[in-house]
Chain A
Amino acid sequence: MNFVVCLKQVPDTSEVRIDPVTNTLMREGVPSIINPYDAHGLEEAIRLKEKMGGKVTIVSMGPPQAKEALKKAMTYGADRAILLSDRAFGGSDSLATAYILSMALQKIHETEPIDLVFAGKEAIDGDTAQTGPGIAQRLGFPQLTYAIKVRELTDTTVTVERKTESGRQIVQAQLPALLTVEKELNDLRYASLPNMMKAAAYEPEVWDAKTLPFDVKQMGLKGSPTSVSRIFAPPGRSGGEIFDATKDPASIAATVVQKLFQSNIIMVNPLAKGGKR
Chain B
Amino acid sequence: MENFDVIIIGGGPAGLSAAISAAQAGMKTVVIERGDYPGTKNVMGGILYTKATDMVVPEFWKEAPLERPIIEQRIAMLSGDESIMAGYRDPAWGTEPYNAHSIFRVKFDRWLAQQAEKAGVMIIPETIVEDLLYKGDDVVGVRTGRAEGDLGAKVVIIAEGVNNFIAVKAGLAKPLRPESVAVTAKEVIALPKEKIEDRFCLEEGQGATIELYGDSTAGMMGVGFIYTNKESISIGVGAILQPFIRNNWTPNDLLENLKSKPYVKRLLQGGEIKEYLSHLIPEGGYTQVPKLHRQGVMVVGDTAMLMNSLNREGSNLAMISGKIAGEVAAQAIKAGDVSDHAMSVYETRLRDSFVLKDLHHYRHMGKFFEEKPHLLKVYPKLFNKAAKMYLTADGTPKKERQKEIIKMAFENRSKGGIIKDIYGAWRALL
Indicate if A197 sits at the interface (CB-CB under 8 A): yes
How many whole Å from A197's CB to the nearest CB in chain B?
A: 6
Indicate if B97 sits at the interface (CB-CB under 8 A): no
Q: Identify the stretch in A108-116, A185-193, A238-246, A267-275 within 8 Å (CB) of chain B at 4 or more residues.
A: A185-193
How many whole Å from B50's CB to the nearest CB in chain A?
A: 26
Q: Closest chain A residue to B126 by CB distance?
A: A196
Q: In the complex, what residues of B have CB within 8 A of residue A190's CB?
A: 146-147
Q: In the complex, what residues of B have CB within 8 A of residue A196's CB?
A: 124, 126-127, 146
Cβ contacts A7-36/B at 8 Å (1 or 0 each): 000000000000000000000010100000
Contact status B124-A193, CB under 8 Å:
yes
Indicate if B122 sits at the interface (CB-CB under 8 A): yes
Question: For this complex, into which size category does the number of interface residues on chain A fall?
Answer: 10 to 19
CA of A29 to CA of B275, assembled, Å: 11
Contact status A192-B123, CB under 8 Å:
no
Contact status B127-A193, CB under 8 Å:
yes
CA of A193 to CA of B129, assembled, Å: 11
CA of A31 to CA of B36, assembled, Å: 10
Q: In the complex, what residues of B have CB within 8 A of residue A197's CB?
A: 2, 30, 122, 124
Contact of A194 among B36, B123, B148, B274 (CB under 8 A): B148
Contact status A193-B122, CB under 8 Å:
no
Indicate if B144 sits at the interface (CB-CB under 8 A): yes
Contact status A200-B144, CB under 8 Å:
no
Main secondary structure of the interface of A (DSSP, over half): helix
How many whole Å from A113's CB to the nearest CB in chain B?
A: 32
B1-28 interface with A by 8 A CB criterion = 2
Q: In the complex, what residues of A have CB within 8 A of residue B144's CB?
A: 193
Contact of B147 among A29, A31, A193, A200 (CB under 8 A): A193
Indicate if A201 sits at the interface (CB-CB under 8 A): yes
Q: What total of chain B residues lie within 8 Å of the partner, measured CB to CB?
A: 16
How many whole Å from A192's CB to the nearest CB in chain B?
A: 4
Contact status B123-A200, CB under 8 Å:
yes
CA of A200 to CA of B146, assembled, Å: 15
A201 in contact with B146 given A193-B151, A196-B127 (CB within 8 Å):
no
Indicate if B149 sits at the interface (CB-CB under 8 A): yes
Q: In the complex, what residues of A have CB within 8 A of residue B36's CB?
A: 31
Contact of A192 among B126, B149, B151 (CB under 8 A): B149
How many whole Å from B40's CB to the nearest CB in chain A?
A: 9
How many whole Å from A134's CB to the nearest CB in chain B?
A: 31
Cβ contacts A129-143/B at 8 Å (1 or 0 each): 000000000000000
Contact status A200-B149, CB under 8 Å:
no
Contact status B148-A200, CB under 8 Å:
no
Q: Closest chain B residue to A201 by CB distance?
A: B122
How many whole Å from A124's CB to the nearest CB in chain B?
A: 18
Q: In the complex, what residues of B have CB within 8 A of residue A192's CB?
A: 146-149
Contact status A193-B146, CB under 8 Å:
yes
How many whole Å from A126's CB to the nearest CB in chain B?
A: 24
How many whole Å from B163's CB to the nearest CB in chain A?
A: 22
Contact status B2-A200, CB under 8 Å:
no
CA of A256 to CA of B292, assembled, Å: 67
B88-124 interface with A by 8 A CB criterion = 122-124
CA of A194 to CA of B30, assembled, Å: 13
Most A CB within 10 A of own CB, among B147, B150, B274: B147
A185-214 interface with B by 8 A CB criterion = 190-194, 196-197, 200-201
A126-172 interface with B by 8 A CB criterion = none
Q: In the complex, what residues of B have CB within 8 A of residue A31's CB?
A: 36
Cβ contacts A200-231/B at 8 Å (1 or 0 each): 11000000000000000000000000000000
How many whole Å from B141's CB to the nearest CB in chain A?
A: 12
Cβ contacts B132-161/A at 8 Å (1 or 0 each): 000000000000101111110000000000
CA of A196 to CA of B31, assembled, Å: 12
Q: In the complex, what residues of A have CB within 8 A of residue B122's CB?
A: 197, 200-201
How many whole Å from A20's CB to the nearest CB in chain B?
A: 13
Q: In the complex, what residues of A have CB within 8 A of residue B146's CB?
A: 190-193, 196
CA of A192 to CA of B144, assembled, Å: 10
Cβ contacts B354-394/A at 8 Å (1 or 0 each): 00000000000000000000000000000000000000000
Q: In the complex, what residues of A have CB within 8 A of residue B274's CB?
A: 29
How many whole Å from A66's CB to the nearest CB in chain B?
A: 15
Contact status B2-A194, CB under 8 Å:
yes
CA of A29 to CA of B229, assembled, Å: 15
Cβ contacts A78-113/B at 8 Å (1 or 0 each): 000000000000000000000000000000000000
Q: In the complex, what residues of A have CB within 8 A of residue B151's CB?
A: 193
Q: In the complex, what residues of A have CB within 8 A of residue B148's CB?
A: 192-194
Q: In the complex, what residues of A have CB within 8 A of residue B123's CB?
A: 200
How many whole Å from A89's CB to the nearest CB in chain B?
A: 25
CA of A185 to CA of B298, assembled, Å: 46
How many whole Å from A198's CB to the nearest CB in chain B?
A: 10
Q: In the complex, what residues of A have CB within 8 A of residue B2's CB?
A: 194, 197
CA of A91 to CA of B151, assembled, Å: 44
Q: Closest chain A residue to B151 by CB distance?
A: A193
CA of A198 to CA of B127, assembled, Å: 14
CA of A144 to CA of B199, assembled, Å: 61
CA of A196 to CA of B37, assembled, Å: 13
Which 7 interchain pairs have the tightest Cβ spacing? Answer: A192-B147, A193-B146, A193-B149, A192-B148, A196-B124, A200-B122, A193-B148
Q: 24 interchain pairs (CB within 8 A)? A: A29-B274, A190-B146, A190-B147, A191-B146, A192-B146, A192-B148, A192-B149, A193-B124, A193-B148, A193-B149, A193-B150, A193-B151, A194-B2, A194-B148, A196-B126, A196-B127, A196-B146, A197-B30, A197-B122, A197-B124, A200-B122, A200-B123, A200-B124, A201-B122
Known pairs A193-B124, A194-B148, A197-B30 / 10 extra A-B pairs, C-beta < 8 Å:
A29-B274, A192-B147, A193-B127, A193-B144, A193-B148, A196-B126, A196-B146, A197-B124, A200-B124, A201-B122
